[in-house]
Amino acid sequence: MEFRTVFQYCLAQRRPSMSLNKITRFFAAAVLAAGLSPALIATAADACAFDLIKPERTSVDWIVEAETLVLARPAPDNVFAYQITEVLRGEKTGQKVSLLVNSAYRKTLKRNPDHAVLLRKSEAGEWRQVAYVDDDFREVRDTVLSHANEWQNDYPPSRFDDFEALQSSGNPALRGLAIRELDKAPYDMLRTLDMKLPVGELLADLWTVEGYPYQSIRVLLLGLSGDDRARQEIYDYFARTQNWDWTNGIGAFAAALVELDGVAGVAYLDQFLLSESDQPIDKMQGVIQALAIHRGTADAEVAREIDTVLAALLDEKPEMASPVAQQFAAVSDWSQIEPLARLMQENRLMTTSDLLIVSVYVAQARGAAKSSAGMNNKG
């Protein structure tokens, strides 16, 4: 059921004396009764997200998901064609690979007779190169195959632990794979990381064409490093982009800043972004997302500073109520109920959209509080 359908139902039930505020509360109750989450509203409203929420597929994903997985080398009678040397998953006989061996692989495989290329076949019958299997990647491949069922639909701690260990690999390709895999980890899991990736290497790849797709995870890792070079890079970023209308990845930089400097980091974001009168909403929403993520993982002092900053923001700029509700709902954090409910009670939400989004957040927060109280009473 879509939110629009629920809202149309609410409108149909509206009595002439029912105010817009009341109908939005009715809408919120209908949403909750339908089992819909306010986090869905955040998605529908184009909520800003930094890259680790929707990471690209890695060679690990292809191995885990493939129904047909083989090792192959150039055929003895045609070095441009692949010949399957081992079937790891799928039909054991009768398969032919419709890919050509590229020149780089031909040269490397000729020098290394014990190496191979890992290939997968899709349900549509299309072949894809997954990885070059040298001695280092062979161990990774075996680890992934042994965990394939466990890693099929989730990112469990075992996957995080295995690729955390690759940070210190002497093989640059495996360190790159470690970064792409850590990009999938929830932030609370990422904060437990025993940081071993060289800060200089993270900085060197931060603004390159090759490194840009994974810039956000590199920024988050810089925040976890505690290194002064990382701190300087992040402050330089905010100084450079303060007057820009649009900045990609600002949420990751904001999260890294709070990770590095705690309360002082939150205060900086407030002074130079949230309290500024002319900052674009997209930039502010990225910062709010970072604060929402930290609100549930930071220590009590940082959490209090986040609450103080957001209460002041909402009082000064009621139009930011939707982004706050969206981002905190997305992480199931109901700590912002008081300032958001106050805006509703004082009729300071100017658009129907804001009123609906905030109403659902407030209703869900109250429901979570009742559920928690019920559990405590049972205990």
> Over the stretch 115-171, which tens digit does the pLDDT of each residue have?
999 999 998 889 999 999 999 999 999 999 999 999 988 788 999 999 999 998 999
- Beta-bridge partners for 147: none
Owner of token pair 């559990």? 375
Phi and psi at residue 133, to the nearest 5°: -100, 95
171 and 218 co-located in one domain: no
CA distances, 116 to each of 70, 73, 107, 263, 264 (Å): 10, 5, 12, 51, 51
Cα torsion 178, 184, 188, 192 to 10°: value is: -10
User: Rounded distance, CA 46 to CA 44, Å?
Assistant: 6
pLDDT of residue 19: 54
pTM: 0.82
Confidence of residue 213 (pLDDT cuts 50, 70, 90): confident
The answer to the question of residue 173 being in a domain is yes
274 and 317 co-located in one domain: yes
Confidence of residue 272 (pLDDT cuts 50, 70, 90): very high
Q: 134, 161, 182: which is the final residue of a domain?
A: 182
Three-state SS letters, the chain:
CCHHHHHHHHHHHCCCCCCHHHHHHHHHHHHHHCCCCHHHHHHHCCCCCCHHHCCCCCHHHHHHHCCEEEEEEEECCEEEEEEEEEEEECCCCCCCCCCECCHHHHHHHHHCCCCEEEEEECCCCCEEEEEEECHHHHHHHHHHHHCCCCCCCCCCHHHHHHHHHHHHCCCHHHHHHHHHHHCCCCHHHHCCCCCCCCHHHHHHCCCCCCCHHHHHHHHHHHHHHCCHHHHHHHHHHHHHHCCCCCCCCHHHHHHHHHHHHHHHHHHHHHHHHHCCCCCCHHHHHHHHHHHHHHHCCCCHHHHHHHHHHHHHHHHHCHHHHHHHHHHHHHCCCCCCHHHHHHHHHCCCCCCHHHHHHHHHHHHHHHHHHHHHHHHHHHC
Domains in the chain, number: 2
pLDDT of residue 9: 45
The domain of 304 spans 212-374
The answer to the question of residue 43 being in a domain is no
Confidence of residue 212 (pLDDT cuts 50, 70, 90): confident
269 and 357 co-located in one domain: yes
The answer to the question of residue 29 being in a domain is no
The answer to the question of residue 365 being in a domain is yes
pLDDT at 2 over 60: no
What is the per-residue pLDDT across 182-206, written as a single tens digit (0 to 9) for each? 988 888 899 998 888 899 999 999 9
The answer to the question of residue 18 being in a domain is no
Confidence of residue 34 (pLDDT cuts 50, 70, 90): very low
176 and 324 co-located in one domain: no
139 and 238 co-located in one domain: no
228 and 280 co-located in one domain: yes
217 and 316 co-located in one domain: yes
Of 27-41, 181-195, 205-219, 268-282, least confident by mean pLDDT is: 27-41
The mean per-residue pLDDT over the stretch 253-264 comes to: 97
Confidence of residue 249 (pLDDT cuts 50, 70, 90): confident
170 and 220 co-located in one domain: no
263 and 319 co-located in one domain: yes
The answer to the question of residue 194 being in a domain is no
255 and 163 co-located in one domain: no
The answer to the question of residue 154 being in a domain is yes
220 and 312 co-located in one domain: yes
The answer to the question of residue 45 being in a domain is no
Confidence of residue 371 (pLDDT cuts 50, 70, 90): confident
Confidence of residue 37 (pLDDT cuts 50, 70, 90): low
Q: 182, 203, 223: which is the final residue of a domain?
A: 182
Burial environment of residue 240 by CB neighbours within 10 A (0 to 12, 13 to 18, 19 or more)? exposed
Using a CB cutoff of 8 Å and minimum separation of 24, what contacts does 194-199 make?
Answer: 194/164, 195/167, 195/221, 195/224, 195/225, 195/226, 196/167, 196/168, 197/167, 197/221, 199/225, 199/227, 199/229, 199/230
67 and 176 co-located in one domain: yes
pLDDT of residue 282: 87
Q: 182, 204, 225: which is the final residue of a domain?
A: 182
